[in-house]
Chain A
């Protein structure tokens, strides 16, 4: 995918957003926005999470549990991201799959596909937002280039090629060991990272290759102890 497809260069999303300057990662210029101290009551979001029943969602490759967010969160997120996305053009935002998420699965129990960098969607107009509601030593989100293909983003036209290349990776390197992706390896090269900080939200294209940095810390399924986030897919639609 050429760099001209990246946000800020084709009107999909702006370079500046909520006071955040986009970074562009890799050779495909994957945009990444980082907005700090974004929510006025982040502690309240954590307290709300502690009262929820977290559950696994069927068919979800997310390595952990999810729970619904407060009703007001959607509107707050739209108000945060909307002005940036609209960028003077007539557009509206639609939030998809906005949930609390707590990554807690033992990698030994996961399928190999859950242990490598992934993409959330092949759609070009979808952005992913991750709102960190925990603090270091939990770590943030890393972004990758798939070495065999050179892909940093996977659109619909690339899915088959990516799958073929994964099969070749497995033949050459074997399936990944039972541990979360951490940094570069023979199949993937890390091209950047969004470090984790409490009440920081990071936004990036939903079709870029990324992975939560889950390897170095003890994971817990307790929202008050674990790697608590809110994850959202954001679609920008022209009116």
Chain B
């Protein structure tokens, strides 16, 4: 990765292929989410809280695979889901600088998404910002503005005692056993017990959405079984 501060002079003529840019997460099994997108994301992915190993703080994330570096929503060409998280859609752009709220827009100069044949341009021919880059700016602004609110939301879940570690024990169609650990979810009993201590209706809705999103683990397992079946076909001898 080679992050460069986005500038009209250096990058104005670039074209972007968003699907190729999203290939950056083809090997990611988790993607961090902003508080602003939790309700939408909860319809597509199982959502968990993940503990940052460096800071010890929790952050909400969508589980995309059942193994490290596995993204079952990446179909080999594109991210295939009804909702695409902001942290994927914004690629190959990043927020640079120490403070996300004050951050500058950067582009990964090494991204495969920078493609002369890409469908999206950064500047229009008259030099104005393209609709595409305006959309990127809006996404990055949302991520930046929601950074602190997302952190507080996750911290509140931990402080209220709503979180419990969740271990997934899965047996696939081919008999393979998979154990997924190190994830935290909203514990329904604790949620009920502390429900009245949650300050706002919106937060109650978001915690509920995250809790119900765990049903999407079944969809993830279906994707895994389908992927395994596709791979098995490559290894099946033609003449038995």
B156 located at the interface, meaning its Cβ lies under 8 Å from any Cβ of chain A in the complex:
no
Task: List B contacts of A169 (CB < 8 A).
Answer: 76
Which residues from 148 to 178 on chain A have a C-beta closer than 8 Å to any C-beta of chain B?
A: 148, 150, 157, 160-161, 163-171, 175, 178
Tell me if A's interface is mostly helix, strand, loop or mixed.
helix
CB atoms of A165 and B76 under 8 A apart: yes
A109, CB-defined interface residue at 8 Å: yes
Looking at A29-37, A110-118, A127-135, the stretch in contact with chain B turns out to be: A110-118
Q: Are A160 and B27 in contact (CB under 8 A)?
A: yes
Chain B's interface size range is 20 to 34
With CB as the reference atom, state the residue of chain A lying closest to B29: A160
Asked whether, in the complex, the Cβ of B76 is within 8 Å of the Cβ of A167, the reply is yes
Say yes or no: A150 contacts B235, CB within 8 Å: no
CB–CB A168/B76 < 8 A = yes
User: Residue-by-residue, is B202-240 near A (CB-CB < 8 Å gives 1, otherwise 0)?
Assistant: 000000000000000000000000010011011111110
Task: Report the minimal beta-carbon distance from A118 to chain B, rounded to whole angstroms.
Answer: 11
Q: Are A109 and B237 in contact (CB under 8 A)?
A: yes
Q: Which residues of chain A are within 8 angstroms of B69 by Cβ–Cβ distance?
A: 157, 160
A55 interfacial by beta-carbon distance below 8 Å: no
Does B26 belong to the interface (CB within 8 Å)? yes
A178 touching B238, Cβ below 8 Å? yes
CB distance from A164 to the nearest CB of B (A): 5
Distance to closest chain B CB from A144 (angstroms): 16
Q: Are A110 and B76 in contact (CB under 8 A)?
A: no
Q: Is A96 an interface residue (CB 8 A)?
A: no
Chain A residues whose C-beta falls within 8 Å of the C-beta of B67 in the assembled complex: 160
Indicate if the CB atoms of A111 and B237 lie closer than 8 Å: yes
Residues 140-166 of B, flagged 1 when their CB comes within 8 A of A and 0 if not, give 000000000000000000000000000
A residues lining the B interface (CB < 8 Å): 108-113, 148, 150, 157, 160-161, 163-171, 175, 178
Query: Interface residues, chain B, CB within 8 Å of chain A?
Result: 26-27, 67, 69-71, 74-77, 112, 227, 230-231, 233-239
- Identify the 6 closest CB pairs spanning chains A and B, nearest first: A168-B76, A167-B230, A165-B76, A113-B234, A109-B239, A164-B76
